[in-house]
Amino acid sequence: MIRYALACANDHEFEGWFASSTAYDEQQAAGQLSCPVCETRTVHKQIMAPAVSGTKRTVRGEASKATRAMMMEAMGRVRQHVEDNFDDVGDAFAKEARAIHEGKSEERGIYGNATPAEVKSLVEDGVPVAPLPAAPPKKTSLN
């Protein structure tokens, strides 16, 4: 597997994993690469420094545990912000998101539930949606 730092014509940066450099070239030529933010298909590789193994010994797990804890905290804060400031529309999410997008409903932040098919339809129609990070487990349910 090879990881490339990618960017789109709108300067959104993201990464992609490919079986080989040839696989990247083939997908690019076929127009199969798209930006996960704006969905433009004008995507290019960015300059990357190669990963070189050094002589310093690192303790595996310590850095990843710290990174994982930081990411979990950040996702929890995002979720809390959404729950505190957006309207929970429950299972009516897809219908309400489309109504807001089309100007038929009040412009506001919402969250709720949608089926994969509903999400796909919203994305295909250009309705901006994003998954909400999962709620952290309750401390009482942990061992």
Does 11 fall in a domain? yes
Instruction: Check whether residue 30 and residue 77 sit in a common domain.
Output: no
Instruction: Check whether residue 133 and residue 84 sit in a common domain.
Output: yes
Does 52 fall in a domain? no
Instruction: Check whether residue 38 and residue 75 sit in a common domain.
Output: no
Residue 16: what pLDDT?
87
In this prediction, the residues of the chain whose per-residue pLDDT falls under 70 are 49-63, 138-143
Does 60 fall in a domain? no
Count of structural domains, the chain:
2
Instruction: Check whether residue 39 and residue 75 sit in a common domain.
Output: no
Residue 58: what pLDDT?
54
Residue 53: what pLDDT?
60
Residue 38: what pLDDT?
84
E strand residue ranges, 1-143: 2-8, 13-18, 43-45, 87-90, 110-112
Instruction: Check whether residue 75 and residue 130 sit in a common domain.
Output: yes
Instruction: Check whether residue 34 and residue 82 sit in a common domain.
Output: no
Residue 20: what pLDDT?
85
Instruction: Check whether residue 38 and residue 85 sit in a common domain.
Output: no
Residue 62: what pLDDT?
60
pTM: 0.52
Residue among 24, 22, 23 nearest 5 (CA): 24
